[in-house]
Structure 1
């Protein structure tokens, strides 16, 4: 009995321990399951965060690469454009500008003024009526001035008056005869000038009316720039640039030559010179690309081909070239001086130079007198003063240079 009691106690204890072990294992399994679930969640979250961070990093690298490629592409395009324009411009040889004082006629003596006026002013009235001009006779010694808005009429009057002065016989009938002769001579000169421009550019198949209008451009001045010479220069630039970029040089040359043709048209046309010129060359069978380039070179109509943009570029190059227009020479020099004076007048500035035909000013400051922050503010001040005090085409870049040098001598 005693043994059975002991055995029962051992078995009971063993069973208790077994149950405790089973319970402990279950709790451990549940804990492991809970921990595993938590770890799995954390693992998925970690993977998500890693993927997101990697995506952001890759996107930033792609943006940086794209920005770098775009900058490089823009720089390459700018370099190629500069190369093409410089190559074209360096091959152009421009003629000097026409004298803007072509309407002043010199007299052999002041006595001729009375003969030009005539008895009771009959001679001068006949001359002015026949030529459509006004003779201005004042106290200026040995000269008269022919005034008229129409440059062709003004030139006819000059030719007729010089012929009358050479002949010496000045009366109403001789004035009328000489004006007729001058008109015939003028017409022949206009044809020669138009044909000369075509020969110079090696162009053909141009309608006679267009040839006449080309010749008349010789007597039209835009800011004292001979319009025919300007048109020939634009035509050459267009052809040279077209050759560089794979366009037809002949089409480009014709577009450049005819772009200002409307300036020589009669008063009956009421549109702008670009539209009028385009209408005229269209009537005489010019290529549609040439017509559009002439009409669009002032952006009055949409450009339909690359030739329109080509004419705009060449027209701007010819017009803004320093010295191209006589009236701009004095203004150009004064503008450059004014830019330098504005910059030099500010405290801390040691030197100021206008470069790139007045499109950039470089300002050198005293490093001991001007800090980096003050140099930045100085550039802003110069920009404001230039905008307030000057009138200028395009833009002006201001560069402030603050240089600090340190040197030692090794013995």
Structure 2
């Protein structure tokens, strides 16, 4: 065979052997790689299973923690709601008990009223029977007397009147004969009369001492200026202020008399300004009095504001503050009303604090309890009820209103503060020397005198002076003539005699003055 054929065979054989060897090596290598891959895969699976197990445990723990937290929140909210429900149940039970007690009280009162009604009906029926029985017995007795005397009741009455008339005439004649002899015996009665008049004068002077202000002057020459020509200045001052100006021999002093402290203060300040200015005449007097009255009103407001600040009472209506300031110029049974109200307020606050109550509310009620006494309009209501209505009008707390209205037992107490106000009012007024009982009735009598005279037609102003022994009535000169003024004084005196009680006598002076005013421009 040719040589290249053997070479080809040798090459082919070598390739076959090489292919076989390569295949064998590849198979061994593939098996080893596969084993390594399987081992790696098994390890990855184990790691994955471990990771998954850890993640699962973490999620389970988180879920358990969240469950416990939600459970705690739910239990806490449930406990709160359960507590609220229990509190509401207790409140409902308490209200039911209160309502039951109120119903029992109402039922008991109804039973008591029914018993009283039955008793009253029985008493009325008994009284009616007794009256009928008495009338029947009286008729029987009259009939029997008529039979016994053979006279009717009218005939017996006429005979008795004739007998009494004859006896009276006889006694009167005897009395006339003995009048002169008995005059000495009546001296005791005259002496008693003198004593009574002395007591009245003493009482009047005592009232004047409590109702006067003294205006001090530098020298007595000023008295002539104040009196004026023919007394026109002092008359104008008295007419403008409503007080009595007493200019006497008292050195360096002028006495201002009047029951109203505000009027006296206006007159005193007006005199002070007039004396300082030196111009004293009727027109100037009226101007100064008007300005002084305005200043006094401002001072009243300032006193009220200062009082509520000092007492720590806030949020009062301005009208109530003004009333508190007006208390400074009022008195109750001789006791200054503002000082009394401040004292009551402090006592109420202390007592309320000791009892664990609202001290601020008690102090507020104590300060306002007598505001009905300073209301500027006349009213027939008791001052406690009037004060309660004013407090309601100006939106005060219901407990404060009840305490004001109930501190003299005019209405039923509905708050625990009400008896505290009543007790503290009594404590303040019962101190030795705190009050004079007659002062209040004296001022009331003077106010009644002024109101009675003002009720007549044509009367512009009326002032009670001389401790109520004289009233000066200023009338409208255009509507009241001189003849009518004279008749008016008589009518006023007659009405005073019929409707009022007073010691001694009262002088009525009617003043009619015509004024003509013009301006040159």
Give the shorter-chain TM-score range.
0.5 to 0.7
Which residue, out of 341, 345, 355, partners 1:235?
345
Q: Which of 314, 329, 333 is matched with 1:204 structurally?
A: 314
How far 1:323 moved relative to its partner?
Answer: 5.2
Q: Structure 1 residue 138 and structure 2 residue 255: aligned?
A: no
Deviation at 1:156, TM superposition (A): 1.2
**Alignment correspondent of 2:292:** 182
* Shift in Å, 1:175: 1.0
In structure 2, stretches of 5+ residues that fail to align are: 1-208, 439-521
Match for residue 155 of structure 1 among 262, 265, 287: 265
Structure 1's unaligned 5+ residue stretches are 1-98, 329-411
Q: Which residue of 2 aligns with 1:285?
A: 395
Name the counterpart of 1:269: 379
Tell me if 1:124 matches 2:239: no
Q: How far apart, in 1, do the equivalents of 2:422 and 2:351 lie?
A: 12
Q: Report the alpha carbon displacement of residue 144 of structure 1 after superposing the two structures with TM.
A: 2.0
State the distance in 2 between where 1:272 and 1:145 align.
34
| Partner deviation per Cα, 1:180-232 (whole Å, 9 max, x = no partner) | 22112211210111011100111111111111111010011224322111101
Verify the 8 A CA contact 2:402 2:418 in the aligned structure 1. yes
Larger relative helix fraction: 2
Q: In 1, are the aligned partners of 2:212 and 2:257 still within 8 Å (CA)?
A: no
> Are residues 1:254 and 2:364 paired?
yes
The aligned runs of 1:13-162 (5 Å cut-off) are 103-162=213-272
* Offset of residue 315 of structure 1: 0.9
Q: Could you give the per-residue CA deviations for residues 99-137 of structure 1, whole angstroms, max 9, x where no partner exists?
A: 967622122222222211111221112112221222122
Give the secondary-structure state (helix, strand or coil) at the position aligned to 1:218: helix
Displacement over 6 Å in runs of 4+: none
Deviation at 1:326, TM superposition (A): 8.4
Give the match for residue 275 of structure 2: 165
CA distance in 2, matches of 1:195, 1:130: 29
Aligned equivalents of 1:267, 1:150: Cα separation in 2: 15
> Separation in 1 of the partners of 2:418 and 2:239?
43
On the 8 A contact 2:241/2:263 being kept in 1, the answer is: yes
CA RMSD of aligned residues (A): 2.2
- 1:296 counterpart = 2:406: yes
Change (3 A) 1:156 1:327: same
8 Å CA contact 2:327–2:337 kept in 1: the answer is: yes
CA distance in 1, matches of 2:300, 2:211: 19
Report the Cα distance in structure 2 between the residues aligned to 1:302 and 1:137, rounded to whole angstroms: 52
| Deviation of the 1:285 alpha carbon | 0.5
Residue of structure 2 equivalent to 1:221: 331
CA separation in 2, counterparts of 1:107 and 1:224?
28
Separation in structure 2 between the aligned mates of residue 240 and residue 269 of structure 1, nearest angstrom: 33
Query: 1:246 and 1:166 mapped to 2: Cα distance?
Result: 56
d(CA) in 2 for partners of 1:315 and 1:113?
Answer: 45
Q: Aligned equivalents of 2:214 and 2:382: distance in 1? A: 30
Between the aligned partners of 1:145 and 1:295, the Cα distance in structure 2 is 39
- TM normalised by structure 2 equals 0.42
Deviation at 1:327, TM superposition (A): 9.3
Aligned-partner SS, 2:329: coil
| Counterpart residue number, 1:93 | none
**Which residue does the alignment assign to 1:356?**
none
Please report how far the alpha carbon of residue 268 of structure 1 lies from its aligned counterpart in structure 2 after TM superposition: 2.4
1:311 CA displacement? 0.7
Q: Scaled by the length of structure 1, what TM-score is found?
A: 0.53
1:14-61: per-residue Cα shift (whole Å, max 9, x none)?
xxxxxxxxxxxxxxxxxxxxxxxxxxxxxxxxxxxxxxxxxxxxxxxx
Indicate the structure (1 or 2) with the bigger Cα radius of gyration: 2
Deviation at 1:145, TM superposition (A): 2.1
Report the alpha carbon displacement of residue 293 of structure 1 after superposing the two structures with TM: 1.0
SS in structure 2 of the partner of residue 204 of structure 1 = coil
Q: In the alignment, which residue of structure 2 is the partner of 1:34?
A: none
1:58-111 Cα deviation digits (max 9, x unpaired): xxxxxxxxxxxxxxxxxxxxxxxxxxxxxxxxxxxxxxxxx9676221222222
**Matches of residues 390-405 of structure 1 in structure 2 within 5 Å?**
none
In 1, Cα distance between the equivalents of 2:233 and 2:260? 21
1:311 aligns to 2:421 (yes or no): yes
Per-residue deviation, residues 342-381 of structure 1 (Å, max 9, x unmatched): xxxxxxxxxxxxxxxxxxxxxxxxxxxxxxxxxxxxxxxx
